Homo-oligomer: A and B are copies of this chain.
Amino acid sequence: MYDLAVTRNQNPSPAEPRGAPAGSAFLLAQVGAHAAARFAERLTELSLSPAHAGILRLVATGPRLNQREIAARLQAMPSRVVTLVDELETRGLVERKPRAGDRRSHDIVLTAAGRKTLGSLRRIATAHEEELTATLTEDEQAQLVVLLRRIADGAGLLPGAHPGYRR
């Protein structure tokens, strides 16, 4: 990022304002950070952070997960998951349910209020996505997803594991 790479297909336009043209790596970091910041901004409406949203999404489907498993999926530190789950539980969006057969372990499950909030969250995420890609056609958006997924796979990124959780 920070606009240093020399792009392979150099644009020979006469007046680049300052320095090299932005390569795809810088653009990715720039646009990605904007997308993250804008999403966070929208989430303030629900008084949630993106990290909260990631947990709500994760526990919404599939087999129950305890906190270690959530941490592993998100590549987050377990102590951070504790804090986030605390906040979600205080707000009545999730519950800690003891796991049968191991009293140390607590599965995190959505409450009815949590399911409702998840609905709002999905509406916000969809609006966010539409705003972000408003200047793209449907085909272009699909193409973008293909390219990004290819990069994500190449980099070994796990689905749903935002590097903002990174440990």
Binding site for B on A (CB under 8 A): 1-9, 17-20, 22-39, 50-51, 53-54, 57-58, 60-62, 73, 121-122, 124-126, 128-129, 132-136, 138, 140-145, 147-155, 157, 159-164, 166
Interface contact B24-A132, CB-CB below 8 Å: yes
**Which among A4, A19, A61 has the greatest number of chain B C-beta atoms within 10 A?**
A4
Partner of A4, one of B25, B57, B159: B57
Interface contact B129-A24, CB-CB below 8 Å: yes
Chain A binding surface, main DSSP class: helix
CB closest residue in chain B, given A54? B2
Docked pose: A63 CA to B54 CA in angstroms: 45
Tell me the minimal C-beta distance from A21 to chain B in angstroms: 8
Q: Across the interface, which residues of B come within 8 angstroms of A128, CB to CB?
A: 5, 25
Q: Oligomeric state, in number of copies?
A: 2
Interface contact A157-B31, CB-CB below 8 Å: yes
Interface contact A18-B152, CB-CB below 8 Å: no
Docked pose: A133 CA to B151 CA in angstroms: 6
Given contacts A1-B35, A2-B54, A24-B129, contact A30 B122 (CB under 8 A): no
Interface contact B129-A150, CB-CB below 8 Å: no
Interface contact A58-B144, CB-CB below 8 Å: no
Docked pose: A152 CA to B34 CA in angstroms: 9
Given contacts A25-B128, A121-B4, A135-B150, contact A58 B155 (CB under 8 A): no
In the complex, besides A7-B145, A20-B122, 13 extra interface pairs with C-beta distance below 8 angstroms are A2-B57, A2-B162, A3-B160, A4-B122, A22-B160, A23-B125, A25-B133, A28-B132, A30-B157, A132-B151, A132-B154, A136-B151, A140-B150
